[in-house]
Structure 1
Amino acid sequence: MSAEPAKDNILRIYTDGACSGNPGVGGWAAVLIYQGHEKEISGVAADTTNNRMEVTAVIRALECINRPIKVIVHSDSSYVVNAFNSGWIRSWKANNWVNSAKKAVSNQDLWKRLAELVEKYDVTFVKVKGHADDYYNNRCDVLAVKEWQTYKRLHPSD
């Protein structure tokens, strides 16, 4: 079943990350939807974690934008959504990238890049249920898994 893309002036981004082992080979994917047009992007990392792939998917999608626009990011990652909707990013930045447990924030390199991109646009984060009935979330999962599977097939000794 395919979803009918909205034809308004909002960029809708769906993202997902997947890992074979955690850490292990990982894939990320995003579907960008704007005015009825869809663009799929995806990639792979040889040695990563699922959380890194979830954040990377959002970064890579936002890096595709070339002008100011309203964006809604749909993610099944509580890690990503809560970082913004629960104010974690604000706290991390205010505390020099130290979390509430007084430890350095994991994946700082990615969070700093993502925070920089989010500041450039009007971004809203929406949590979707993973592996459920969301067409685009499921599409992202398929693309992300395909990335790590292809990598493992081409690099069986890794």
Structure 2
Amino acid sequence: MQKQQPSLVIFTDGAARGNPGPGGYGIVMFWGPHKKELSAGYRLTTNNRMELMAVIVALQSLTKKNLPVTIYTDSQYVVNSVEKKWLDNWIKTDFKGGKKNKDLWLKYYQLSKQYNVKFKWVKGHAENEWNNRCDELATAAADGNNLLIDEGYENSINIMQ
């Protein structure tokens, strides 16, 4: 009899103080009895970018490929873009019409091919303990020192100026 692997469960959240403004992401990952938390802050970004960045960083931190992964997020932007196949259409049309966050969506798309990713939406700032913990991590990161540079975002606004 083959031993069943524990399921990989990830909670993510993104935050921005102003939109755009300083931002951060928070991640809580569960693999069987193991729990890992990740977060980082950026000096200038948007909420949607941080929501998506949390998912990307979580997937980048995995060491085993081809795992079933369930990601819980309060971002309808992320859930709907993937689950309703909006992202597939954006890629086909090369993000025509000014769809935002192309750099991050392409990064997510490449990563997602290595896993069986399923998204589940959870209500933000509600009863979900792990979504609330991710929010704490994300906002603390946004309010922290030594903020990173969201090069994709800052380069895009420099081009428009």
Normalised by the length of structure 1, the TM-score is 0.86
C-alpha displacement of 1:93: 1.2
Q: What does 1:56-67 correspond to in 2, within 5 Å?
A: 56-67=53-64
Question: Identity rate of aligned residues, in percent?
Answer: 41
- Give the match's secondary structure for 1:17: strand
Partner of 2:105: 111
Partner of 1:133: 127
Question: For residue 80 of structure 1, what is the amino acid of its counterpart?
Answer: V
| C-alpha RMSD of the superposition | 1.6
Question: For residue 125 of structure 2, what is the amino acid of its counterpart?
Answer: H
Q: What CA deviation, in whole Å up to 9, does each residue of 1:89-130 have, x standing for no partner?
A: 1111111222xxxx1220100000011111110000000000
Is 2:67 the counterpart of 1:73? no
Normalised by the length of structure 2, the TM-score is 0.85
Runs of at least 5 residues in structure 2 that lack an aligned partner in the other structure: 147-161
Question: For residue 107 of structure 2, what is the amino acid of its counterpart?
Answer: R
C-alpha displacement of 1:9: 2.0
Runs of at least 5 residues in structure 1 that lack an aligned partner in the other structure: 1-6, 153-158
Partners of 1:8 and 1:34 within 8 A in 2:
no
Runs of 4+ in structure 1 off by over 6 angstroms are: none
C-alpha displacement of 1:151: 2.9
Instruction: Measure, in 2, the Cα distance between the counterparts of 1:83 and 1:119.
Output: 16
- Give the match's secondary structure for 1:151: coil
Instruction: Measure, in 1, the Cα distance between the counterparts of 2:23 and 2:5.
Output: 33
Question: For residue 94 of structure 1, what is the amino acid of its counterpart?
Answer: K
- Give the match's secondary structure for 1:120: coil
